Amino acid sequence: MKLLTIPELAEELRKNDNYIMLTHRRPDGDTIGSAAALCGGLRALGKRAAVLENPQFTEKYRPFLDGLTTDCVPENAVLVSVDVASKGIVSFSGIDYVNQVSYVIDHHGLQRDFGELGFVDPSAAACGEIILDLLRQMKAPIDKKIAEALYCAISTDTGCFRYSNVTARTLRAAADCKEYGADIFAINQVMFMTKRLARLKLDAYLTETTQFFADGLVALSVIPETLKEELGITEDDIDDISGFGREIAGVEIAIMLRQVAEGGKISVRTSPNYDASAFCAAVGGGGHKAAAGATIRGGIEEAKKQILRTLEESGVKL
């Protein structure tokens, strides 16, 4: 993949037509908001553009995609991926097209295994920050709808400006969205200020059942397979559930075990003092330093033992 500057990418996009935007698997607010904003901006410049439907788009994000999606990729379409760090995580609907992607726009610093040309800026907290710069460079008019898609992207990828990735640029980009007319409060209410009662009941369950080790440094939570159905939990309700333990004051290593048919799915979230990916690598998984995962075959009790043993072997006194 050849890397371009923002002016070069803007020039490329102004030159072509007939765009299809690809999003990533288990789509979040950043891939959806970025795709929607870029699509809206290209249309505002008179281009044909659409976001490829993703079978995993959830209800929460549908308003940002309204009128922008398509089920088919026309011949000679120019494919643009947004927030897709590698071809293995493109939407299931995009798998057949991933090797034809012309432009990769992303903020992940991972290996690039697809795409002809790209703009990648790991200093951006959200891909949405890049799209905002790009739309301005293209002189695309930014209306309320585009501004709201951008705000969705930027706010959700930063936990409403709480995470360590937030920079002055992030906050200024959000300020610009507000000035372009985004109803940021309405978006905040849906994304950050309310939970469904079912999710609160899951939180209550986890509060009552989470086990603590090493004087509260380690939290180990288990979600039994049947609980999701019992409480009426949807994927939208728990897209951030792996972080539950880290929200408890004093916890630096949060382990979430989700019982699934084939065994246990482990998510580990750590403070900067620990390495989640090392713990998970030891049980056959992987990820980043602060967030990693693994799948363990066998029962949940066995999974518990394995992960706790791994912690002890790495020097954590349980």
State the residues that interact with its own copies by CB under 8 A: 159-164, 166-172, 174-176, 178-179, 184-185, 188, 192-197, 200-201, 203-204, 207-208, 216, 246-251
CB atoms within 10 A of CB 13: 26
Q: How far apart are CA 242 and CA 256, in angstroms?
A: 6
Based on CB atoms, which residue is closest to its own copies, 13 or 173?
Answer: 173
For residue 254, the minimal CB distance to its own copies (Å) is: 11
For residue 56, the minimal CB distance to its own copies (Å) is: 21
Based on CB atoms, which residue is closest to its own copies, 103 or 237?
Answer: 237
Q: How far apart are CA 70 and CA 222, in angstroms?
A: 39
Based on CB atoms, which residue is closest to its own copies, 123 or 207?
Answer: 207
For residue 140, the minimal CB distance to its own copies (Å) is: 20
Element (H, E) at 297: strand 291-297
For residue 204, the minimal CB distance to its own copies (Å) is: 4
For residue 171, the minimal CB distance to its own copies (Å) is: 4
109-140 in b/e burial notation, b at 16+ Cβ within 10 A?
eeebebbebbbbbeebbbbbbbbbbbbebbeb
For residue 212, the minimal CB distance to its own copies (Å) is: 8
For residue 23, the minimal CB distance to its own copies (Å) is: 25
Based on CB atoms, which residue is closest to its own copies, 250 or 315?
Answer: 250
Q: How far apart are CA 15 and CA 225, in angstroms?
A: 51
Give Cα separations from 99 to 22, 33, 94, 127, 128 (angstroms). Answer: 12, 23, 10, 21, 23
Residue 74: exposed, middle, or buried by beta-carbon count in 10 A (0-12, 13-18, 19+)? exposed
Nearest to 170 by CA among 155, 190, 183, 152: 155
Element (H, E) at 122: none
Based on CB atoms, which residue is closest to its own copies, 199 or 304?
Answer: 199
Strands 263-270, 253-260: pairing kind: antiparallel
CB 96 within 8 A of CB 122: no
Based on CB atoms, which residue is closest to its own copies, 80 or 154?
Answer: 154
> Which two three-digit tokens encode residue 167?
């920079």
Based on CB atoms, which residue is closest to its own copies, 97 or 192?
Answer: 192
